[in-house]
Amino acid sequence: MQDRIYLTTEEAAAYLRLKERKLYELVAHSAVPCTKVSGKWLFPRAALDRWLEAGLARPEGMQPTNPPPIIGGSQDSLLEVAVRDSGCGLALLAEGSQAGLDRLTRGEVAIAAIHLHATPDNDAANPAAIRAEPGLFDAVVIGFARREQGLLMAPGNPLALAGIASAVERRARFARRQQGAGAQLLLTSLMARDGITDGRMVMAEGICATGQDLALAIRTGRADCGIASRAIAAAFGLDFLPLVWEHVDLVMRRRTYFEPATQTLLAWMRRPDMAARARELGGYDLAQSGEVRLNR
């Protein structure tokens, strides 16, 4: 069972040490994380772990262990500059938005950089996702920047791609991000909007861990196109077809917000240096940078 990502009702009841009847009661009251597929309830094991941790009782005076000074989650060019130039002392671990959230919940990173997509261009997607995370009951969402995401293509657009539907029709090879990466979620959302099924797409070999890896795959000819930011396209000399503007937000627990490293980063974000570097990279809007977008 430990290797299963989704548990059946029988497996989840055994995992939680509950009777199935009690588990069904929790499901009926929307009190336990679950999903229904073809009439059967499935329970994400990682979500069950977070649900249990959220209700963990601690003796008086016992403080949770401080997470390591790492920003996990999504890769972003401007965030890399901000962390380096601010001297905040935080490290970066770019694995994708959902992986960053999972590490934040487990206490393995201090901050997660995320850009999630329920629907294309959904400004509320990030705060909504955090509200739905039972293990992040004390989370704060701080706006970092809005950035332009689009379709990256080889210089000169040799396949004459005009969008995702056009790329599918022309059998262009899509560079693929890992499951849970914000760019992959955006691609899935855009495909659903346009009525495009996965079976019609041609996928390039391998998984691109970051937008930079995706751009390199296109630059070297391993892929024809893929979803990433305008800043990444400019850095690698690729053609860029704009699709949406999205929020890149920083998620942290409330106590982390007041830590010196976090405050140093936030202070640099308010300086003119941030705006200057955003203009150099291209494709950024800082109107809501530093804004508290959610305080649970």
Fold (topology level) of 6-53:
Arc Repressor Mutant, subunit A (1.10.10)
Same fold for the pair 6-53 and 149-245: no
Confidence band of 3 (pLDDT split at 50, 70, 90):
low
What number does CATH give the domain 70-144+248-295?
A: 3.40.190.10
* Whole-number pLDDT of residue 55: 67
Q: Which of 56-60, 159-163, 175-179, 292-296 has the lowest mean pLDDT?
A: 56-60
- Whole-angstrom distance, CA of residue 98 vs CA of residue 76: 15
pTM (2 d.p.): 0.78
* Whole-number pLDDT of residue 172: 97
User: What percent of the chain lies above the pLDDT cut of 90?
Assistant: 73
- The string over 92-107, giving b where at least 16 C-beta atoms fall within 10 Å of a residue's C-beta and e elsewhere, is bbbbbbbbbbbbbbee
* Whole-number pLDDT of residue 57: 63
pLDDT (tens digit per residue) in 77-128: 999 999 999 999 999 999 999 999 999 988 999 999 999 987 655 788 999 9
* Whole-number pLDDT of residue 4: 65
Query: Can you identify the CATH homologous superfamily of domain 149-245?
Result: Periplasmic binding protein-like II (3.40.190.10)
* Whole-number pLDDT of residue 91: 98
* Whole-number pLDDT of residue 113: 98
Q: Where do the structural domains in the chain lie, given as residue ranges?
A: 6-53, 70-144+248-295, 149-245
